[in-house]
Amino acid sequence: MTRNSYRYYDLIVAAFVTVLLCSNLIGAGKAAQIELPVIGHVVFGAGVLFFPISYFFGDILTEVYGYAHDRRAVWCGFAALLFAAAMSSVVIALTPAPGDYNAHLQSGLEVVFGNTWRIVAASVLAFWSGSLVNAYVLAKLKIMTQGRHLWMRTIGSTALGEVVDTSLFCVIAFYGIWPTEQILSVALVQYVLKTSWEILATPLTYAVVNFLKRKENEDYYDTRTNFNPFKTSL
């Protein structure tokens, strides 16, 4: 089956991978806190503020270009995360040069980038699984609704994708280390924040999707798509 040559696809994939890397490498190094009405004191990973943007791009890719193009972007992100993790390990393992500055720098790098194998595995597997669930659900809902109710499809697919993503990450990263109650509490906060971001971004999603459909002359329906998550070709 012949697919079109797209003007903006590569740009969106690059933005998708950039957001993914930044949210996992920069944001993951800080636990932030906020005081919310009714709920009170809430602690969350700073990366949560930006990671949902990857789902925003994922929704756009699936809605405009189809599941296969989103799946390829997810595999690009998966490979980028693995490379970043390997690079971080190598850089941290290198013996720092003499001097107080380099000693302090080494300590800082270890704090920010020295994640354990469990954190790395949790991040990579949770992202891959959650993103593909999001894309699959969105593609199927588009067919079922005949392209109507974009808001329902993006929010619904994100809600399911984030359940998988958040659950896998918290269990793989923290089970046996944190008390079960703490894992559930953190997972719930992470899930609510991520899903709420998708709801708030709905007007922007409509604007970007409509722009791309018009410019790319594409509104793909995955009626004959091979949904095998391990397939990397279109």
Residue 71 and residue 76: Cα distance in Å, rounded? Answer: 9
Identify the band that residue 2 occupies on the pLDDT scale cut at 50, 70 and 90. very low
CATH annotation of 9-216: 1.10.1760
- 73-82 average pLDDT score: 94
pTM here is 0.88
E strand or H helix that includes residue 35: strand 31-36
- 24-36 average pLDDT score: 70
- Other Cβ atoms less than 10 A from the Cβ of 71: the count is 28
- Of the listed ranges 24-38, 88-102, 189-203, the one predicted with least confidence: 24-38
Contacts of 106 (CB under 8 A, 6+ apart): 92, 96
Q: pLDDT > 70: what percent of the chain?
A: 94
- 85-89 average pLDDT score: 88
DSSP letters, 118-136, are: HHHHHHHHHHHHHHHHHHH
Domain ranges of the chain: 9-216
Identify the band that residue 29 occupies on the pLDDT scale cut at 50, 70 and 90. low
